[in-house]
A = this chain, B = another copy of it.
């Protein structure tokens, strides 16, 4: 078994080259780790946060998983040459125009950091638009596979209107509501849709959606945290939902039975402090029972149109880019505290007298208003 190129090489290359090498190594390490282990494992995420992906790969490759509290990961890692396999995947990505997108990289949607130790290690991205830019102004909309005609109509019509208003629609590519969401957004000239797939990005899932995926590759993006060519499984379908929830400031459920994956996505969103909304339907329809439960039993909002969805995300009074006179006091203070030097929220919150969670929510609003930007090492104005 070989370690690949990571942490090797006796000679010291020039600084710039070394940095490129390191970033390439990080990408490779992340591809390898995300191929070896199922997504969303917090212990692994915590180790990567602490030691870096390269550091984790080095420890596992040296048989020292125990030293970074990943003893139970050791056996699977040692069972195969995951780095070699990652190189093969990287070449295949390059050949097929699939981008490998990693945290800190230019196409990485920084809101995914809200997932903490469950942040994806890497995403494979296939499609004609910039993933980060599309996700920055997106609405997640999900729902039942066994959708009614009513639900599909609502999903398609609402997505189309969201796209007309310049919002990308994030969904899961599945039968029923998901497909209607993608179709609605893509039906609009310039409309963008993002599918977060539980399978490899090059493997339309379900297979009968290959023409939908072709349209997504052209006018949107398909993203996945599992390797190119990978098949989905039950765990992958469920764990994928947290990515949908994290990408957008809101998750809208169009139709859902009482037990439904869409409700799992809604719970993920609520746990992360995202807004959740649901469309009502006839009380006689079991496909609306999950939506009614969300509205009745949680703080999910009832919505009946695309503009109501957007109202929940961007307060009506602050929708014009750059208008600051309608911000809350806390948002205004946060804006004033930021400069052109990247600053982390954790550094600011003490002086602002707010907790980090609220500051993060305010930063999200200011970012959507185009007033501040999130860089790898903190927030800046403008």
Contacts and interface: CB of A to CB of B under 8 A. Distances in A.
Interface of A: 150, 153-154, 279-284, 288-289, 292, 295-296, 301-305, 308
A284 B304 CA distance: 9
Say how many copies of this protein the assembly contains. 2
A302 B280 contact: yes
A289 B304 CA distance: 8
Contacts of A279: 283
9 contacts: A154-B283, A280-B282, A280-B292, A280-B295, A282-B282, A283-B305, A292-B302, A296-B301, A296-B302
What 4 pairs across the A-B complex have the smallest Cβ distances? A280-B280, A283-B304, A296-B302, A295-B302
Contacts of A281: 280-283
A288 B280 contact: yes
Given A279-B283, A296-B302, 15 more contacts: A150-B284, A154-B283, A280-B280, A280-B288, A280-B295, A280-B302, A281-B281, A281-B282, A281-B283, A282-B282, A292-B302, A292-B304, A296-B301, A296-B304, A296-B308
A123 B301 CA distance: 41
A305 B283 CA distance: 8
Contacts of A292: 280, 302, 304
Nearest to A303: B296
A294 to B, nearest CB: 10
Contacts of A296: 301-304, 308
A349 to B, nearest CB: 32
A284 B152 CA distance: 12
Contacts of A150: 282, 284
Greatest chain B CB density within 10 A among A150, A296, A308 is at A296
A120 B235 CA distance: 63
Contacts of A295: 280, 295, 302
Contacts of A280: 280-283, 288, 292, 295, 302
Contacts of A305: 283
A302 B282 CA distance: 12
Nearest to A148: B282
Contacts of A302: 280, 292, 295-296, 302
A292 B292 CA distance: 12
A250 to B, nearest CB: 15
A123 to B, nearest CB: 34
A292 B154 CA distance: 15
A43 to B, nearest CB: 40
A280 B292 CA distance: 8
Contacts of A308: 296
A304 B294 CA distance: 12
Greatest chain B CB density within 10 A among A280, A292, A296 is at A280
A279 B282 CA distance: 9
A284 B280 CA distance: 10
Nearest to A288: B280
A301 B296 CA distance: 7
A149 to B, nearest CB: 11
A266 to B, nearest CB: 15
Contacts of A284: 150, 153-154
A288 B295 CA distance: 16
A113 B296 CA distance: 31
Contacts of A303: 296
A296 B303 CA distance: 7
Contacts of A304: 283, 289, 292, 296
Nearest to A154: B283
A154 B304 CA distance: 20
